[in-house]
Amino acid sequence: MIRLIAFDGDNTLWDFDAAMRTALQRTLEELWTVRPGPSTGALSVERMIEIRDRVAKELQGRVTDLAVVRHAAFERTLEEIGIDDPGLAARLNAMFFAVKERHSAPFQDAVPVLESLSGRYRTALLTNGNTDPARYGLDRYLDPIVHASDEGAAKPDPRLFRILLERSEALAAEAVYVGDSLSDDIAGAQATGIRGIWLNRSGRPNDTDIVPDAEVMSLTEVPEVADGWA
């Protein structure tokens, strides 16, 4: 019997990518204002994303707070274009988070689906990110809310999924986890014995050997899938 449906946050309940790209674009414009020149000109949002992903990989297992990763990525970005200015990295980082907060929004299907699940299932959040769901009024649907940065472990680490189960007072067999990342969300959930629903909004191919228990293109399909297992 399914009792718990837990969700990933970034790119599952809210559109992180759009807000992240807007915020990086703004920091790039700011950098151009204070440090114009060919090396700044050679930077792009894509390259900043690539640098951030590289830094995240290097810090994997040591740093679970993605805000720390983001700051380190700005330091690395400046380093790679030959600017040694820790104060500037800190300022760009603060600007990034301010702009990201202003531009981030939940997906259209998030509230209706949480609304339709509530009362029938316990619904929860387990996120590696740093967005506060209260910002969108989603916190009233989500209990528990588990942030990786508070726990010293990040998805796909099964420890984090076990914390989720403990706080939800649910067994793995009673739980479903919904997320957009095959490697972090689906593999992590399944390693803990939790069913994983892969949210694949863009219909991209699965180029991994991870087999989700179900695949959906919208959150609106989640209640029917869970009801089928209930």
DSSP 8-state secondary structure symbol assigned to residue 193: T
Least gap, CB of 12 to Mg ion (angstroms): 5
DSSP assignment of 42-103 = T--HHHHHHHHHHHHHHHTTT---HHHHHHHHHHHHHHHTT---HHHHHHHHHHHHHHHHHH
- Closest CB to Mg ion among residues 22, 40: 22
- Closest CB to Mg ion among residues 2, 154: 154
Angle at 5 between CA 3 and CA 7, to 5 degrees: 165
174 binds Mg ion (CB under 5 A): no
Rule CB under 5 A: choose which of 2, 5, 6, 11 binds Mg ion: 11
104 binds Mg ion (CB under 5 A): no
Interface with Mg ion: number of residues (CB under 5 A)? 5
- Closest CB to Mg ion among residues 31, 164: 164
Residue where the block lists tokens 């067999």: 173
180 binds Mg ion (CB under 5 A): yes
Q: 175's torsion region: left (phi>0), alpha (psi -120 to 50) or beta?
A: beta
- Closest CB to Mg ion among residues 174, 185: 185
For the chain, the first-to-last Cα distance in angstroms comes to: 5
15 binds Mg ion (CB under 5 A): no
Pick the stretch among 1-9, 69-77, 90-98, 218-226 that binds Mg ion (CB under 5 A): 1-9
- Closest CB to Mg ion among residues 89, 161: 161
Rule CB under 5 A: choose which of 2, 4, 5, 8 binds Mg ion: 8
Please state, as a whole number, how many other Cβ atoms lie within 10 Å of the Cβ of residue 110: 21
Least gap, CB of 71 to Mg ion (angstroms): 20
What distance in Å separates the CA atoms of residue 159 and residue 18, rounded to the nearest whole number? 30
List of residues contacting Mg ion (CB under 5 A): 8, 10-12, 180
